[in-house]
Structure 1
Amino acid sequence: MSLHADAVRTLKEWTAPDESQERLRLSYLDHLASFPDGMWKACADGHVTASALVVDAAGERVLLTLHRKLRMWLQTGGHCEPGDAGLAEAALREAEEESGIGGLTRVGGPVRLDRHETPCAWHLDVQYVVRAPRGAVGTVSAESLDLQWFRFDEVGDVVDTSVQRLAEAALHRLR
């Protein structure tokens, strides 16, 4: 199955938690129907991306990266690559690359969608939660200025509303 087909399948099967997320889900599907290259960075009209919030083994903290270009604390994630078998695999790959932590495990399917503008184009982000193994220590990647664990109750102090909503969705998924 192609990455495009996997994204369509994932979005068709995903049950949005509210009306706003349902509108985004439908707009992502419209985008993919209109743009055969809608998974790739080269699609100037926007592209589907995959991200993951890394949660520690105890489910008490999240790992955020201080993005080098955007200078914001964010979850791990980014562009899909030709070798990705699907959105979930792209999110996991990005999380491992940007956190330096091996052995991450995905916690179910997507938890939310977030559409945001970046310097390259609109990102139609499909967001997952991944759990780190006990004792995991991150390593700052070339895409980051810093990498730090934050308790769930600290996240709102350092992130924008989109990451705060992702953290809330992650906490709901974990409970």
Structure 2
Amino acid sequence: MIRSNILELLLAHRTDDQLENEMLQDTIRFIRQHPDCFERSLLVGHVTGSAWIVNKEGTHTLMLHHKKLDKWFQPGGHCDGDPNVMAVAAKEAFEETGIGVRPISNAVFDVDHHVIPERKGVPEHIHFDIRFFFEADKTTDELPSNPEANAVRWIPLEKVEEYNNTPSIMRLVKKCMQ
């Protein structure tokens, strides 16, 4: 079954965060109910993969200012049919930042889901975001421009809340500072 690998990873994921645990259970249910969960064409929602990237010292994370949503986020995107969500996250990280990454772990790092507003004829839907923890191959201040982002920047972990202080992002910061 095309969904078995991600379901195995999600079933092994443990969290003490009550909200994340609820989103984890929702995500598992969604994937079990929708064989086409990796397809963007599934208009109720779909699985996405994102990368929480830190530098080698573990002091900074790589974030981008998303043009459409006008907020700072970690790199990530649609699976577009690819069930290897970790590979999707790594590919999106490179496409959006120009930085290659290596997984710190092959396990799921975090699970989140969020509503994406209606836009250009695509109805409001849910992104079931599965996040993986990566280390950057290199750290450089010369980051490429990205048509989907206003900026790409290395941000000190202790300053991430100045860019995006949502519980979802702050949970990522907390996890990598433990």
> Do Structure 1 and Structure 2 share a fold, with TM-score over 0.5?
yes
- Find the counterpart in structure 2 of residue 159 from structure 1: 164
SS in 1 for 2:159: helix
Q: Percent sequence identity over matched residues?
A: 27
Please list, as runs of the form range in 1=range in 2, the aligned pairs for 1:136-175 lying within 5 A after superposition.
136=140, 137-161=142-166, 162-172=168-178
Point out the more displaced range, 13-22 or 126-135.
13-22
Question: How far is 1:36 from its partner?
Answer: 1.3
Per-residue CA deviation, residues 136-171 of structure 1 (Å, 9 max, x unaligned), is 443222211111111011100110312122222222
1:127 to 104, 126, 131: 131
Amino acid at match of 1:67: H
- Find the counterpart in structure 2 of residue 27 from structure 1: 26
**In 2, are the aligned partners of 1:101 and 1:139 still within 8 Å (CA)?**
no
- Find the counterpart in structure 1 of residue 84 from structure 2: 86
Scaled by the length of structure 1, the TM-score of the pair is: 0.87
Point out the more displaced range, 10-19 or 65-74.
10-19
* Unaligned ranges ≥5, structure 1: none
Amino acid at match of 1:97: E
Amino acid at match of 2:130: V
Taking the aligned partners of 2:139 and 2:155, their CA distance within structure 1 comes to: 15
Amino acid at match of 1:114: D
SS in 2 for 1:127: strand
Taking the aligned partners of 1:170 and 1:81, their CA distance within structure 2 comes to: 28
- Find the counterpart in structure 2 of residue 111 from structure 1: 109
- The count of residues paired between Structure 1 and Structure 2 equals 169
RMSD over aligned CA atoms reads 1.7
Taking the aligned partners of 1:134 and 1:7, their CA distance within structure 2 comes to: 28
